Amino acid sequence: MAHYLIIGNGAAGLSAAEAIRRRDKSGRITIVSKEPYPLYSRPGIAYLVLGRVSEQQLITRPLTFYQEHDIDLHFGAVTRLDIQAQTAWLDNGDVLSYDVCLLATGSSAVRPRLPGIDLDGVVTFDTLDDAKTVIAKGRRAKAAVVVGGGITAMELAEGFRHQRTTTHLLLRRDRIWPRLFDEHESAIIERQIRHEGIKLHYRTEIAEILGAKGKVKGVLLKDGSTIKCQAVGIAIGVRPNLQLVKESGIKLDRGVIVNDFMQSSHPTLFAAGDVAQVYDRWTKGHQLDVLWPSAINEGRTAGHNMVDVAMGRPPDQPYRKGSPFNAAMLFGVHLSVIGRVGSGMAEEEEQSMYYLSRGSSFVWTMPLTGNHHSAWDSHGLTSVRIAIVDGRIIGALLLGNQSLADPLRQLIENEVPLGETESNLLAADTDLPDAIMEFWRRWRRRTPLSNRRARA
């Protein structure tokens, strides 16, 4: 009987376990989970701190699910992995040998080396327990400071504000999320942030977190000024959890480089989710996708192929990475980002770009190459921006009205040639949303379902 070991009980780990059980009814499946919960929606913790969902509603698989599918869920941490010996050591002293292993350890918030970073009151936003801490600290704090400009920083700021805390959001640059948003899109979100009563500080960097008796009492900024606060939220980016394989000799970059079958450079070790770097057909390189649907799809493929390897067969199901997609709600404004939308950054900043915000993909901000154009349109809180490369829409960013989200996803995923429509989309007097909708309807009419890509 084969033994499948899965390290991490997130979207990737659990999807892999389900895929294994579908193909191997009797194999032994062990999931080791550092967090003491069954699978819960990690993106959902942003809604928990806003009081929109309960903890119970976040649980997507109850504990009984694991029993029913004969999956051994072990709460604890893997502290050492020897991939040559196919053995894992757990923090309670247990030693597990396996036939095939999946590394699905996710990613964690980067904690900068700042004086005061370990004070009580400094929070990051990775887990359900972090969300509970944000609620508890936010309720007690008179003021909170959030550092960072990506989605998670905004969600943290919104979370603190919801607890009626005076909230400051510190931005390094002169607008919000310049890696992704253009100036107009940043302005829409900033207007909403102010409307929520959150104080925005531009071109501001933190020098030190000030404390007394082990607790946060303020922050010292690089310009010498201070802000009094009792909580500090840090959301400057995330990093894949690679500690277990750092010295293993497998091929690593920012994450674990996997082949089309989600297999690392060692045949009995697979990787999926935030920790894996998968081939991306648009950028022709291996990229990180810190996204929930990507973790599910990668986990499923890994699980399927792990069964083949355990049975001594070559893996047979390749993973086809789709265009990265995220839908989120920021300060009451719906946001969708699809495919590659290009970067508004100066070149030197692109080179120093390393960390990725939660719920995002490296692909989004890769510079556009080839024959490229952008078109955009905006009314009030709604805006549409598309990126066109070599006659095809390769990315889109929608704020507000989301009726174009599905059509654009399908056009991008299917790499539909625009033909003469390209010049129409780029013309200054075109109603861009109408023109995209019309083009999509025509494409749908002439393209049978069987010829459209599965994800679309």
Ligand X SMILES: Cc1cc2nc3c(=O)[nH]c(=O)nc-3n(C[C@H](O)[C@H](O)[C@H](O)COP(=O)(O)OP(=O)(O)OC[C@H]3O[C@@H](n4cnc5c(N)ncnc54)[C@H](O)[C@@H]3O)c2cc1C
Nearer to ligand X by C-beta: 9 or 264?
Answer: 9
CB of 107 vs ligand X, minimal distance in Å: 6
CB of 152 vs ligand X, minimal distance in Å: 5
How many helices (H) and strands (E) the chain has is answered by 12, 27
Nearer to ligand X by C-beta: 33 or 421?
Answer: 33
**Rounded to 5 degrees, what are φ and ψ at 244?**
-70, -20
Beta strands 143-147 and 166-170 are parallel
CB of 349 vs ligand X, minimal distance in Å: 23
8 Å CB contact between 335 and 295: no
Q: Is 179 helix (H, G, I), strand (E, B) or coil?
A: coil
Nearer to ligand X by C-beta: 405 or 436?
Answer: 405
CB of 434 vs ligand X, minimal distance in Å: 28
CB of 453 vs ligand X, minimal distance in Å: 19
CB of 104 vs ligand X, minimal distance in Å: 5
CB of 36 vs ligand X, minimal distance in Å: 10
Nearer to ligand X by C-beta: 77 or 435?
Answer: 77
Stretch (H or E) spanning 349: helix 347-352
CB of 115 vs ligand X, minimal distance in Å: 26
- The span from the CA of 166 to the CA of 160, in Å, is 8
Closest to 91 measured CA to CA, from 33, 6, 12: 33
Geometric angle at alpha carbon 251, from 249 and 252, rounded to 5°: 105
Nearer to ligand X by C-beta: 116 or 273?
Answer: 273
Stretch (H or E) spanning 30: strand 28-33
* 372 contact partners, CB below 8 Å, separation of at least 6: 342, 387, 388, 389, 390
As to burial, measured by CB atoms within 10 angstroms (0-12 exposed, 13-18 middle, 19+ buried), residue 160 is buried
Binding positions for ligand X, rule: CB under 6 A: 7-13, 32-35, 42-43, 45-46, 77-78, 104-106, 125-126, 152, 155, 241, 244, 273-274, 290-293, 295, 326, 328, 358-359
8 Å CB contact between 285 and 117: no
CB of 432 vs ligand X, minimal distance in Å: 25
- The span from the CA of 427 to the CA of 439, in Å, is 15
CB burial string 309-339: b at 16+ within 10 A, e below: bbeeeebebebebbbbbbbbebbebbbbbbb
Nearer to ligand X by C-beta: 399 or 425?
Answer: 399
CB burial string 418-442: b at 16+ within 10 A, e below: beebbebbbeeebebbebbeebbee
Which residues are registered as beta bridge partners of 335?
A: 328, 399
Nearer to ligand X by C-beta: 293 or 344?
Answer: 293
Nearer to ligand X by C-beta: 46 or 436?
Answer: 46
Closest to 293 measured CA to CA, from 105, 22, 11, 10: 11
Nearer to ligand X by C-beta: 61 or 432?
Answer: 61
Nearer to ligand X by C-beta: 60 or 317?
Answer: 60
CB of 324 vs ligand X, minimal distance in Å: 9
